[in-house]
Amino acid sequence: MTGEINIYGVLFPPLLVWLAIALAITGLLRWALRQLGAYRFIWHQPLFDACLLVIVTGLVSWGVG
């Protein structure tokens, strides 16, 4: 997928749109992990959250493209 994405006349790069989608999915995953108590087993929560965002962004870009 090349080129810009047109949203109401404003052109956005595809990575920015994919990142916004991945941020929403990551927020849901973080909420689910917190409810399940999985963060008790994670050593460095901010680093884990950053890695989770990178992985989900890659999966979103792979799924769209």
The whole-number pLDDT of residue 2 equals 59
Collapse the DSSP code of 35 into the 3-class scheme (helix H, G, I; strand E, B; otherwise coil) and give the result: helix
Global pTM value: 0.84
pLDDT tens-digit readout, 23-57 = 999 999 999 999 999 999 999 999 999 999 999 99
* Predicted pLDDT at 1: 47
What pLDDT is recorded for position 7? 86
CB 4 within 8 A of CB 10: no
pLDDT band at 5 (very low <50, low <70, confident <90, very high): confident
Domain span at 57 = 5-64
Domain count, the chain: 1
Asked if residues 26 and 20 have their Cβ atoms less than 8 Å apart, the reply is: no
